[in-house]
Amino acid sequence: MKWEIDTKTKHLSLIAAPKFNGNYHISFDRLTEDDWFRHLSEKNWVDMKKILPAFVAAYNAAGLKLDKDFFARYKEAFFNRSEDDFRRSLSGVWNEKCNGGVILMSVSNLFRTPDDFIDDLISHKEPVDA
């Protein structure tokens, strides 16, 4: 993901890598909306580590003042995304090792906790549903 500030048109552009389909152009007058970080954290093409410098630069270009709430919203979205990434990664490894690489899992596996996946991986246990 890349980002750029356009001071002529007054917007922040978030540009997805070519393999993804997604770009955002956020006008300066919408930067302070509370849900940007949460919303962007749900996009698989968004690099959360690059979002913070992009928004800080956009706030500076727009003459907006940063505050503690800005950083709290970013932190919450960043950690939620990290937790989601961890769970997807763990589930993928579990799926390969304990579920024979079968992509379709039973609905009950969707409700397994990360600790359940870890316990199976450590014990090399085959799940009951496999």
Mean pLDDT across 13-33:
90
The Cα 63–Cα 68 span in angstroms is: 17
Domain span at 55: 2-66
49 located within any domain: yes
pLDDT tens digits for range 24-45: 899 999 999 989 999 999 998 9
Q: Does some domain include residue 92?
A: no
Sheet containing 23-27: order of strands: 2-6, 11-15, 23-27
- Within a domain: 31: yes
Which residue pairs from 116-123 have beta carbons closer than 8 angstroms and sit at least 24 positions apart in sequence?
Answer: 117/90, 117/91, 117/93, 118/90, 120/94, 121/93, 121/94, 121/97
pLDDT at 130: 46
Q: Is residue 48 part of a domain?
A: yes
Dump pLDDT digits (tens) for 77-129. 999 999 988 988 888 888 888 877 766 555 556 677 889 888 888 887 665 55
Q: What is the pLDDT of residue 18?
A: 82
pLDDT in tens, 44-60: 899 999 999 999 999 99
Residue 12 lies in a domain: yes
Look at residue 28 and tell me if it is in a domain.
yes
Q: What is the pLDDT of residue 20?
A: 81
Planar angle of CA 118, 123, 128, nearest 5 degrees: 85
Domain assignment present for residue 26? The answer is yes
Give the chain's domain count.
Answer: 1
Q: Quick check: is 116 in a domain?
A: no
